[in-house]
Structure 1
Amino acid sequence: MVFEHEIPEGTKLYFGKSARIKRELESAACEIFYRHNFEEVVTPYFSYLEHQQNFSDRHLIRLSSQNNHQISLRYDSTIDTIRTITKRLGRATSHKKWFYIQPVFSYPTNEIYQIGAESIHDGNLQSMIGIGLEILSRCGVKAILQFSNIKILELTLAEIGIDKDTYRSLSLRQIAQKARFVQDLLRINSLHDLDSFLPDAPMFVRFELERLSHKAHACGYEHILISPLELPLVDYYDDVVFRIFSENDTLVLGGKYNIQECLCCGFGIYVDNVIGHILAHNLAKE
């Protein structure tokens, strides 16, 4: 029996104060994106299943079209946006900087509201980080900016002879026992730690560590965390990755990636987490 007041688990209901915060966050994002020469795109809620091949079927909400094609509810906005801009709209527009405000969906009934931005044929991650921080700052949100570099992780795993799946299954203590330099990498938490380690870093990974240091220094942000061996939360990120978080909640996730043979960079703001963060801090002040 389903009671009239119930909504499916994983769906969202915003009203009053929370709905106002959501609208103010989205409005601030729109104003900032337009000022930075971004244009808006809204992609379809539905996508052909073959276009979602980067993701496990267990995450996708699958349906069939009237022509019996396998389709799914949009699970990720980045891949759909890049594919739509480059393949469908390539002749209609030459614009390279796009943003979107739209939800994604995962099995069984999860709704995730997102604000995202993609810069096509562009590796200027620094600019994207600044925009993400500016949007959060407009809403009075202060958080920690974390940097990692997937290439450091890949080079390290190749050196010690394990793959990512094995790495996921090991404890930090087991990983640290693999090699002395792995212990040193795991101890790095701050920019000072990273810069102190650089002169003694193994040559095979030093260049990528230097790139990570350069990106983090260029931000000029006060609260920075360095995590050289962090696993990516999104599989298609393949270079420098940044995460803005507070307590245990990810507020913004972004990085560099290559999709549809396009070098791009971008980020997604987890709207639901930002709303929860603002509500909790407002409550604490009352």
Structure 2
Amino acid sequence: MKVQIPRGTQDILPGQAKIWQWLEEKMREVTNKYHFEEIRTPIFEHTEIFARGVGDTTDIVQKEMYSFQDRSGRDLTLRPEGTAAVVRSFVENKMYGDPNQPVKLFYIGPMFRYERPQSGRYRQFVQFGVEALGSQDPAIDAEVISLAMNIYREAGLKNVHLVINSLGDKESRAKHREALINHFRPRIGEFCEDCQNRLEKNPLRILDCKVDREHELMKTAPSILEYLNDESKVYFDKVCQYLTDLGIEYTIDSTLVRGLDYYNATTFEIMSSAPGFGAITTLCGGGRYNGLVEEFGGPETPGIGFALSIERLIAALEAEQVQPDIHNGLDFYVVALGERAKDYSVKLLSELRNNGFSADRDYTGRKMKAQLKSADRLHAKFVVIIGEDELDAGIVQLKNMETGEQKEIKLATFIEEIKQFAV
């Protein structure tokens, strides 16, 4: 039997995992500054959560979900995105009753979508996202967008830009919906089957179609910005004003609708313009989803959030040739020569680790020269050499691998001495 990884998944090997850890730590640092707290939801939920939350006219629900029945016949789905599950938890745990509003949450975890694998896009991928629930203030929109932009800045990306739009409130969307139907209906037969099915259910989804994106009617479709009522215009203008105040440059794109049905009012995407990044330039997307909490049985609660793929972020780092500042080396490598020295090295390693140092040793019985080569490959800062003679004399030899300098240190005061200079 040939054993290999399923299509659309990847192994994150030890060297790569350090980059993931570095990025996740950056994300936690940024969200902490904005006072967002972590939430962890199950990897699978009842299928209805995503059908109702994400929208039954979306590609995710119609084509991409990994759904199954458990032994009791319950319909379950591996989560394809994070917002619906977070909102479900918000309602179920009555977080709307928390005196500290809005409730500001973030998550990091694997998501699953059955779609064609390509560069930076997998069937199992890791998503980072934030959700702010309980505020209708346009300042929270700007804050969430600012948080996303700061994550990319902290990661070291330069070639990113923000695209925003407003989908308006219920009244504005109803007028725009009617205009879209009237616009597409006479020639809807020229569009794909998905678009034909969406004409009456959700014509806004037609604008997000990848198959018919070059159709001439796409270019002349009515803009949502033409149908915003006064309240929606004022709100969107305020968001734009705050972004300007924060020094965040943006482009308004009236065709930006996002791929999920729950969005309304502010929507946005962050794109990469790095040369060689690829045809799919979107790094991050999000927006408002007022009404989603009520859909799950909670009280009227506005919300806004975004999600980004860590795989896409890593691809952007590679495109811009950004080298994360990651220390891959050891503090100490212990070279033990002789059985008694090897026995003692077990205790010595433990003392080093218990005092905050990273340390390792040889476990394959190699000669001293081979052990020193191993220490060099592992980028050890220092090598501790101990043999039978050193053990009898109560000393160790400490070698600085960068300078080559070697000095003798007493075993009795070894930890105290190295703390003074091994930093």
Deviates more, 1:238-247 or 1:226-235: 226-235
> Secondary structure of 1:215's partner?
helix
Query: Which structure 2 residues correspond to residues 128-277 of structure 1 after superposition, within 5 A?
Result: 128-142=144-158, 143-151=160-168, 155-159=175-179, 161-162=182-183, 163-164=203-204, 167=207, 168=209, 169=212, 171=214, 173-176=216-219, 182=222, 204-205=227-228, 207=230, 208-209=232-233, 211-220=235-244, 221=247, 223-247=249-273, 248-258=280-290, 259-261=292-294, 262-277=301-316
Partner of 1:281: 320
Q: Give the total of aligned pairs.
A: 262
Q: Of the two, which has the highest radius of gyration?
A: 2
Higher relative contact order (CA 8 A, sep 6+): 1
- For 1:23 and 1:16, the matched residues in 2 are separated by 10
- For 1:113 and 1:250, the matched residues in 2 are separated by 15
Partner of 1:74: 79
> Secondary structure of 1:240's partner?
strand
Partner of 1:105: 112
Query: Which structure 2 residues correspond to residues 84-123 of structure 1 after superposition, within 5 A?
Result: 84-90=89-95, 96-107=103-114, 110-123=123-136
Deviates more, 1:234-243 or 1:94-103: 94-103
- For 2:36 and 2:149, the matched residues in 1 are separated by 16
Deviation of the 1:98 alpha carbon? 0.8
Tell me if the contact between 1:149 and 1:229 (Cα under 8 Å) persists in the aligned partners. no
Tell me if the contact between 1:147 and 1:212 (Cα under 8 Å) persists in the aligned partners. no
Deviation of the 1:209 alpha carbon? 4.8
Deviation of the 1:79 alpha carbon? 0.7
Query: Which structure 2 residues correspond to residues 2-81 of structure 1 after superposition, within 5 A?
Result: 2=2, 4=3, 6-16=4-14, 18-53=16-51, 54-55=55-56, 56-81=61-86
- For 2:248 and 2:146, the matched residues in 1 are separated by 13
Q: Specify every segment of 5 or more residues in structure 2 that has no aligned partner in the other structure, as ranges.
A: 116-121, 184-202, 274-279, 295-300, 324-423
Deviation of the 1:171 alpha carbon? 4.5
- For 1:128 and 1:166, the matched residues in 2 are separated by 27
> Secondary structure of 1:260's partner?
helix
Corresponding letter in the other structure for 2:307: G
Per-residue CA distance 1:214-265 (angstroms, 9 max, x = gap): 4234213454221013232222111110110114322121111121222101
Deviation of the 1:205 alpha carbon? 3.5
TM-score, length of structure 1 as denominator length: 0.79
Partner of 1:192: none
Tell me if the contact between 2:30 and 2:147 (Cα under 8 Å) persists in the aligned partners. yes
Q: Specify every segment of 5 or more residues in structure 1 that has no aligned partner in the other structure, as ranges.
A: 187-200
Deviation of the 1:281 alpha carbon? 1.6
Query: Cα 1:66–1:88, aligned 2, differ >3 Å: closer, same or farther?
Result: farther
Tell me if the contact between 1:10 and 1:110 (Cα under 8 Å) persists in the aligned partners. yes
RMSD: 3.0
Deviation of the 1:19 alpha carbon? 2.4
Corresponding letter in the other structure for 1:36: Y
- For 1:139 and 1:120, the matched residues in 2 are separated by 26
